[in-house]
Amino acid sequence: MKNFFGALCFSVANADKKQLIWFGALIVLVLALDILHHRWRYNDRKLKIWKEFCPVPLLLTTVHYFICVAGAPHFLRNYTPMYLIAVLALLPMICAEMDTGYKVTLTCTSVLTVIFAMIFLATLNNEHNFIRKSYTGSFHALVKEMDRSYVLKEWKDIDFYALEDKYMPMVEQAEKEQDPAMFADAVSMFCSELHDGHVMVQTDYDENKYSSVFKLNDYGLAIIQLDSGEYIAVCTEPEVNDLGIYTGTVITKWDGVPVSEAVNNVPDWGTSVKANADRFAPLYLSTMGGETVEVSFLDERGAEQTVTLAAFEDEREHTIGEFRSAFLKEPESMGELYNSNFKTRMLDGSCGYMVLSAETTGSMIRDEMAFYTGRSKQTKEMFRRKLRDLKDRGMEYLVIDMRNNMGGNADISYGLCELLTDEDMYAVGLGMRKNGKYVRLAEHRIHGDGEFSDLKVVVLTNSECISAGDSMAYCLSKLPNVTLAGMTDPNGSAQMTGGGCLLSDGVVGVAYPISLTLDENNEPYIDPRADRVSRDPVEERIPLDYDAAMKIFQHGEDYELDWAVRYLEGSDY
């Protein structure tokens, strides 16, 4: 019960206080109607007045809708439980004159009201509708709200009003020219400076009519840096092959600038961990330019050649997709990633394999209960069955694949940690930010089971392992029999989302974390500070040399998975 009340306090503490006032007013009205009926039920005149009062809760929520939701229909999901309570308040009116009928109706509606109230409090986000404001007005409102509620303001040393001064001229220009793309770019640049993978910007405007500075061109190749420092072309298309550039060709200059210097001019995409941003900077460089770019490379004789590449007119960004599919092993859809969750198989006669792509059971109720209790017995037993099955099939080692883990609720998967250790350990704390300080409200722990504590494990991760996945990877890495490995560090974003602002005309929407998770030292969990140094780094950095690049991009091999198996079996790669 301690965990439950702590988690409930956490949910309420991080909720939008204005919405709690609206909700409180609704509950007061509903209770007042019940009290008035009890007092007036035998007075026909007063009972008639009581019936006239019954629609007042619905009227209140109608006003709330036009103030907080109108123009932003996806906000409706946050307030549906509250609106249902207002509708329920009408039902007793039907049986107002019948003692038994009223009591039965009141009992049913009361139970449903309590259920809807708990759902509302447990799932309430902190979202704000600035759709009716101008570009400048909505941008200022965003700055003001994020300065108040963004949970890592002090941790990342962010001065929101200094950033507003930096980007407001661009917003003003966008407003003057009525250019939604420029407005969206200004907001995106503003958010990128937070370097938080949980800060997400969505845009909605006619991309055929307006052009963004973040537009990615496709010139038929991607660039990646090897551990040796060389930059090579990968995912090359036939058009560039005809000009002498192939997968593995060393690229020396981009538009006349040495690649080692040009990568410094790549726009800031807001990546949390600097090392991850550096890894992908060459990829984004390969999308920068006009209708044509000059590319210099070393031919088969080692001589430098320069050719002109034209951007594909269909704006397909096909090369980037190929790169992410090969390097990050991204699936074609989120559904494919979700459907692979918890799948297991044997890789060879001794190495087992488990996919952990999301921390969810697929049931919102079960996931919420796991959050409020701090554990999920159901998934723990599911992990136990799967590991026992692999053991029966000869498993001596295990690879847990957490690449591209989309997050969820880490409590769902902590049971796996419990099976891999015989110790009790701290998992995560739930807290609140108060006057720039951090207060812990609840603590979730891992209680070691130890059944598989002697199993040697490699956890594969990458920069797309985010949120609860980041948290789970970190917990696993603390176990002595587990090694966290990858070519990139996890995303570095573990605070809980829930904040959101929809700006002028719905052109831009910004989502960001407002709920605090804490480590053992009562500091924000996992997220890096302003230095952008990973606080959840891989323990074994999988090497990326020329041969590895060829296996990944030329032959389509899962090099990281092969490396993990050889590492577990003690073989050199």
Q: What is the pLDDT of residues 26-63, one digit of tens each?
A: 999 999 988 887 788 778 788 888 888 889 999 999 99
d(C-alpha 422, C-alpha 400), whole Å: 19
Ranking 164-168, 366-370, 441-445 by mean pLDDT, the lowest is 366-370
pTM for this structure? 0.88
Contacts of 113 (CB under 8 A, 6+ apart): 30, 85, 88
pLDDT at 183 over 80: yes
For 216, which DSSP code? P
Task: Tell me the DSSP string of 10-22.
Answer: HHHHTS-HHHHHH
Mean residue pLDDT of the chain comes to 90
- Amino acid occupying residue 339: N
Q: Which of 469, 521, 495 is nearest to 156 (CA)?
A: 495
pLDDT given at position 315: 56
pLDDT value for 573: 40
Q: What is the pLDDT of residues 109-143, one digit of tens each?
A: 888 888 888 888 777 778 899 999 999 999 999 99
Task: State residue 63's pLDDT score.
Answer: 94
Q: With a cut of 60, say whether residue 572 has pLDDT above it.
A: no
- Give the pLDDT confidence of 311-357 residue by residue, as tens digits: 987 655 688 889 999 999 988 777 887 889 999 999 998 999 999 99
How would residue 12 be classed by pLDDT, with cut points 50, 70 and 90? Answer: low
Q: Which residue has the higher pLDDT, 362 or 534?
A: 534
Range from 12-21, 290-299, 410-419 carrying the lowest mean pLDDT: 12-21
- Look at residue 1 and tell me whether its pLDDT is greater than 60: no
**Separation of alpha carbons 319 and 446, rounded Å:** 43
The pLDDT value given to residue 3: 63
